Amino acid sequence: MVKTAWVFPGQGSQAIGMGSDLFARPAAQDRLQQAAQILGWSVPEICQSDDDKVSNTLYTQPCLYTVESLLVDELRQQGQQPDLVAGHSLGEYVALYAAGVFEFEAGLRLVQRRAELMSQASDGMMAALIGCDRDQLDQQLQERSDVVLANDNNAGQVVISGTPDGVNAVMAAIKSKRAIPLNVSGAFHSPMMADAAAAFQPLLDAVTFQSATVPVLSNVDPTPTVEGAVLKDRLIRQMTGSVRWREISLQLPDEGIERVVEVGPGKVLTGLIKRTCSGIALENVSSLADLAAE
C-alpha cells in the first residue's frame, strides 16, 4: 500500500460554488441540517451566493470546515483512510476531525467561535512576501517586536503579521519579488491575537479530544502525534503561533509518505508541497468528480 497523507486547506482557498455537487448527495443532508442548526444559516446558500459571502471570515471558516468534512466522509465511504493528516490553519480542525479526535459537531462549534473572534479582530495587518531574501527577513524580525512570521509556507513564500507600521516597515526594508498586503481583519497567527485566544480557550477546554486514529502534524509543532492532550495543547497555541507549513512538508518524506491528497477547494497546499519536496505523488479532491477518479 502507498503511504498516504491527507492535507486540508484553510482560509484563502474558498471559492463561490464550492461543495455544490456534494450538497445534493443524500448522505450530506443530515450533516448540512446539523450545520444549519448550529450556525443559524445555510452552508449551501452561503457557498453559492454570487455576492461572495463565502469570503467573509465569519462564513468562510465554517463553510470550509463543512465542505472538507463532507469530502472526508465521502472518502471514508469509498474505504479510504490516510496514514497521516495535516491542515493549514483552519484546515487543522478538519485534519483533527478526519483523525477521529472529535466529532463533526464539536469541531464546527469550535470553528464557528474561532471565526467570530477572528472576524472581530480589528488591529493589525498581514502581508505575503513572494521570493524574499529570507536571511534579510529573519534579521528584520529579530530586530522588531511588532512583527512575526505568521505563515512559513515554503522557501519562497511567507506571510508576516503584526502592527500596520511594523508590517509596512518590514515590507519596505527587505528585497522580495512581490509584497502583497492581505485583505484580512487582523494580525492572525501573532501575539496580537492573544485576547481572541483567551476568549476561545473556555470552549476549547470543554471539548474532549480523543486519541487520533492516525498521526497528526500540527501547525505549531510539525512532529507527528496521536495523543489527544498534546493535540489540544497545540491547537490552543495555533491562534497566536506561526503556521509552520514548510516544516510540515519536509516532515512528509521523513514519515515515509509517498502520496499526498489535498482534500478541499483549490490546489494551494499541493503547490506548496511540490516546491518543497520532490518525489511525492500529489492529488486534489475538491468535488464528486475528483472522488470518482480516486
Question: pLDDT exceeding 90 applies to what percent of the chain?
Answer: 90
Question: Mean pLDDT, to the nearest integer, of 70-80?
Answer: 96
For the segment(s) 4-121+190-293, the CATH number from 3.40.50.300, 3.90.870.10, 2.50.20.10, 3.40.366.10 is 3.40.366.10
25 has pLDDT over 70: yes
Average predicted confidence (pLDDT) for the chain: 95
pLDDT tens for each residue of 159-210: 999 999 999 999 999 999 999 999 888 899 999 999 999 999 999 999 999 9
Q: State the span(s) of the chain assigned CATH 3.40.366.10.
A: 4-121+190-293
Q: pTM, whole model, 2 decimals? A: 0.96
Closest CA to 98 of 84, 115, 113, 119: 84
The strand pairing partners of 216, in sequence order, are 85, 225
pLDDT tens for each residue of 112-125: 999 999 988 878 99
pLDDT at 269: 97
Q: State the span(s) of the chain assigned CATH 3.30.70.250.
A: 125-181
pLDDT tens for each residue of 165-176: 999 999 999 999
Pairing of strands 216-217, 157-162: unpaired
Q: Which residues are catalytic?
A: 89, 189
pLDDT at 42: 97
Q: Which CATH class is domain 125-181?
A: alpha beta
Sheet of strand 125-130: strand arrangement: 147-154, 157-162, 125-130, 178-181
pLDDT at 294: 67
